[in-house]
Structure 1
Amino acid sequence: MSAEKLSTVEYIQHHLTNAHIGEGFWTINVDTVIYSILLGVFLLWVGKKAVAEASDGTPSGLQNFFEMLIEFVQTNIKDAFPGAPKFIGPMALTIFAWVWLMNFMDLIPVDLLPWLGQLVGIEHMRVVPTTDLNTTLALAFTVFGLIIVFNLKAKGVGGFIKMFLTHPFGPYLAPINVVMTLIEEIAKPISLALRLFGNMFAGELVFMLIALIGGTLAVGAAALFWAPLQAVLDLGWLLFHLLVITLQAFIFMVLTIVYLGMAHSTDH
């Protein structure tokens, strides 16, 4: 499966193919589902461990980390969604941590887990759930569902319908308002999903291209040049991508808070 045995195109195609069952609309990307669940379970375990170790005395490193993370999330909620319901904090923290963990899988050597999978008979494996558009769309449309619920709760059914009829050009241009508002509302989950997917997919491709340097170019004496170059590029992109995965998780969390705050408001 290594780049030494496959052509450049075959290597990239192999890494971009999910382990799946079903065909067409009913296709389920099994690797995406499994890794998402495993990372969610890991997050729950770490959270439970942090709660179990919490104390009023000298806090542990894990407790310090979670307190810092919770304070960071709460600060963003106060800035973007004053008067937010209590569940927004845990939800925002979960979104940030879970998306970050799924993004972090991109920092694992690109060939490692797929190679281990082949040892047990798994031909294809994509290990970064957020490089699967199904994952990012699922997250985004869950947020979209909450936006609708918050709109209905804050404005009522009549107020929600009125928003579509009168925003942004007033009641005399109701047909145009409906189209414009509908586009505006649908654009929220679509932009959330595509932003996260696009950045993570691009990062995944860069890691593959760097891996190809060692597989297709580092042959014989040329390895004395290409192998060190690959190591430098890999380390440099890894350090930069660490910032990218954190920033993308942060943006997804903040935009979720902002959109819910807008929906919760009685003004539009």
Structure 2
Amino acid sequence: MASEGGATGYIVHHLTPLSVGEGFWTLHLDTLFFSAVLGGLFIWFFKSVAERATSGVPGLAQNFAEMIVEFVDTQVKDTFHGRSELIAPLALTIFCWVFLWNAMDMLPVDLLPMIGSVMGMEYMRVVPSTDLNGTFALSLSVFFLIFFYSIKVKGIFGFIKEMTCTPFGPWLMPFNLMLKVVEELAKPISLALRLFGNLYAGELVFILIALLPPVVQPLLGFPWAIFHILVITLQAFIFMVLTIVYLSLAHEDH
């Protein structure tokens, strides 16, 4: 496929989403499809492990699930200082879902696009994390939860006071409000752009390696794949931890 349209055409083809609609109402079908499939895979795995869980000698699947749950639970206990039954399941969902998003980057870059072309699909971008719409949608869900818990814990007047009277007191309300608006907007933007930027760059490197002669590809592709395993895990961890931190700040009532 690398010869179709030259190197530039090959790169553009792999980074162009399968979409319908125009302008604001454009839907990236590949991002929606793979996100739904990976989310279903996450639910199915943990549900099946929970149904077959035993107090005796656990199997490999139960060991793996318990290790992930314990890891996430430790992060929540160390970082979150409020009281909420939602935060730990939310953190687990975010970590696993983002990791699965990122793990799609480990598949051969031509595999699924070739299958899609056989099925009549002109484009297919298989890594949801390389779609800014996907990462932004996930970060906006965290953004709305931040406001929901800020108002729930502090009350509407406490929330307004926090937005207008900190950090410089009531005499500088317009300046305080401007700073707080910038601070709050920076949270979803930084979450979305950090995840998107790292995975987009990683996918681009894989595509560039695929353009090299077949003899060279394993020499560069394998070391990059090993390194990229750390990247995809780290990015999922960072997204989860920042979500916990932001929601912990939202629960601070003083």
The normalised TM-score by structure 2 is: 0.98
Of the three residues 237, 240, 244, the one matched with 1:257 is 244
| Partner AA of 2:231 in structure 1 | V
Q: Is the CA contact 1:133–1:194 (under 8 Å) kept in the aligned structure 2? A: yes
**Runs of 4 or more consecutive aligned structure 1 residues displaced over 6 Å after TM superposition:** none
Check conservation: 2:72, 2:88, Cα contact below 8 A: yes
In structure 1, the partner of 2:191 is: 192
- Preserved contact between residue 84 and residue 261 of structure 1 (Cα < 8 Å): no
Distance 1:73 1:170 in 2: 37
Q: Would you say 1:129 and 2:128 are equivalent positions?
A: yes
Q: What runs of 5+ residues in structure 2 fail to find an aligned partner?
A: none
Structure 1 contact 18–125 (Cα < 8 Å) conserved: yes
Distance 2:72 2:171 in 1: 42
Please state how far the C-alpha of 1:6 moved relative to its aligned partner. Answer: 2.7
Contact 2:82 2:251 in 1 (8 A): no
Deviations 1:103-126 (A, max 9, x none): 000110001100111111111000
Alignment map for 1:104-123 (pairs within 5 Å): 104-123=103-122
Aligned to 2:12: 13
Q: Does the 8 Å CA contact 1:53/1:60 hold for their aligned counterparts?
A: no
Superposed CA offset, 1:121-147 (max 9, x none): 111000001110111111001000000
**Bigger Rg, which one:** 1
The residue that corresponds to 1:143 in the other structure is 142
Aligned mates of 1:63, 1:86 — CA distance in 2: 23
Q: What secondary structure is seen at the aligned counterpart in 1 of 2:236?
A: helix
Q: Secondary structure of 1:85's match? A: coil
Partner of 1:54: 53
The reply to whether residue 234 of structure 1 matches residue 221 of structure 2 is yes
**Aligned counterparts, 1:43-82, within 5 A:** 43-82=42-81
Shift of 1:172: 1.2
Amino acid at match of 2:68: L
Q: Which amino acid in 2 is paired with 1:186?
A: L
Q: How does 1:169-180 map to 2 (within 5 A)?
A: 169-180=168-179
Partner of 1:161: 160
Task: State the match for 2:234 in structure 1.
Answer: 247
